[in-house]
Amino acid sequence: MAETKQQLHIAMFPWLAFGHIIPSLELGKLIARRKGHRISFISTPRNIDRLPKIPPDVAPLITLVKLPLPHVDNLTENAEATMDVPHHIIPYLKIAHDGLQEPLSKFLETSNPDWIIHDFAPHWLPPIASRLSISRAFFSIFNASSLCFIGPPKFPLSASPGTTEETDLGKRTELEHFIVPPKWVPFPSKIVYRPYEAKKLFELIEANASGVSDMFRLNMVYLGTEFLAIKTCMEVEAEWLNLFGELLHIPVVPVGLLPPSPQEGNDNKDSTWDTISEWLDTQEKGSVVYVALGSEIRPSEEDFNELALGLEQSRCPFFWALRKSAGGESVELPEGFENRTKGRGIVWTGWAPQFKILGHESVGGFVTHCGWSSVTEAFQFGRALILLPFIGDQGLIARFLEERQAGVEIPRKEEDGSFTKDSVSQTLRLVMKDAEGQIYRDKAKEMTTIFGDKELQHRYVDKFVELLEKHRRIINKG
């Protein structure tokens, strides 16, 4: 007799950053839409209120759960996500996040989900979920090559004796260790940090104001999870996914690239899109460079100036989505910049619908900070990439893309990461116009066959959910 399929209840708890929240919500929507399972999506009140509207076909299956963020010194009243605070205040946001331990525990006790799909930050969560017999999956928005570079946990889950020394991130104590591929990568790779990026990496390894380091959080989550779900696919990085599975000794499951659905843009902001599209409609096909460095990047005044002057010097039409920083500090455009580029370029300081802009046929290239979600969006439309990474895994993603000739990085000084208007201008012209840059434009178009194939990507979600279903059936029988 055929086994009756049971509806699962899945709780989702992303880190308090929209680069984590949105992919997590996208995964939740796909699980609900394709498999009919119930989702409890957990975040803070203001973050929940800022989410895109849940489509009517899945709204009955998704419950948005608001857990108030505890008050913490150094955090302003409305700061509930990383985009709301300057970079140096993020450790205090982690303190507030850790304060969600008790209300989250109560929610899990009373709602009794089958699974919790969580992020890297709640190092305290696995023991709580285990005590309540709730299965655990860590959902990583970081791609497999970046996770491989960072390395497996300090205490391998079931590694054979003697392997700890080889794979212990703690053994990489000098800057020189991070500018070469790690010993555990068995194939040729150029995915490394530059010296100026490696200096910043030590912030992740050392304990911050929250009392623990980001590496401690990640290690504890690795050690306490049953599956690692990762926002990537075999067609993009099979060798890295296979390697990471060997390093972690737990199932590493690609859930696809989670491309956002175009019909799910912010409806209430359509007048914004009308204004932007009106300008884009006047530009030649494939001529416009879209410039957006994400909601959390705060370039120095010097970097900001060189980027602006490089854009001007390139003579490329551009649309620059320039958001005011959370700390309130404003950066000034070079004097006369907007007058000199009038008609050829637009500096847009409000909210900009990135997915729709990238989808417009006049856009040919994208100056990006190399956030994995932004890369995913750009490749759905075959947009050539000009790479300008700043923090975290962005440098590793830039090397990953360059290795595949899927983007070109703006040249910078190895020691301090500075760049010039000339390097910006030359890279823009190479990727957008020059004959020798055709390879990058072709490669970007080629990427649409993977990144733009919705059915291929959705099959990954289906396989992941089948694993969740099968695992719970085994537990329930046991």
pLDDT in tens, the chain (478 residues): 344 568 999 999 999 999 999 999 999 999 999 889 999 999 999 999 999 999 999 999 999 999 999 999 999 989 999 999 988 999 999 999 999 999 999 999 999 999 999 999 999 999 999 999 999 999 999 999 999 999 887 644 433 333 333 345 457 878 889 999 999 999 999 999 999 999 888 777 888 999 999 999 999 999 999 999 999 999 999 999 999 999 998 999 999 999 877 655 444 456 889 999 999 999 999 999 999 998 788 888 999 999 999 999 999 999 999 876 555 556 789 999 999 999 899 999 888 999 999 999 999 999 999 999 999 999 999 999 999 999 889 999 999 999 999 999 999 999 899 999 999 999 999 999 999 999 999 999 999 999 999 999 999 999 999 999 998 777 776 5
Residue with tokens 């992303």: 14
CA–CA separation, 221 and 72 (whole Å):
24
The yes-or-no answer on residue 118 being catalytic is no
On whether the CB atoms of residues 30 and 258 are closer than 8 A, the answer is yes
Report the CATH number of the 9-259+453-477 domain: 3.40.50.2000
The yes-or-no answer on residue 98 being catalytic is no
Sign of the Cα torsion 247, 134, 216, 398 reads: positive
CB contact set of 220 (below 8 Å; sequence gap of 6+):
123, 124, 126
Task: Considering the candidates 84, 98, 114, 119, report the single residue annotated as catalytic.
Answer: 119
SS3 138: strand
* Residue extent(s) of CATH 3.40.50.2000 domains in the chain: 9-259+453-477, 266-451
On whether the CB atoms of residues 363 and 319 are closer than 8 A, the answer is yes
CA–CA separation, 347 and 228 (whole Å):
40
Q: What are phi and psi of 367, to 5 degrees?
A: -85, 110
Q: What is the pTM of this model?
A: 0.91
Name the CATH topology of 266-451.
Rossmann fold (3.40.50)
Task: Considering the candidates 20, 37, 118, 123, report the single residue annotated as catalytic.
Answer: 20
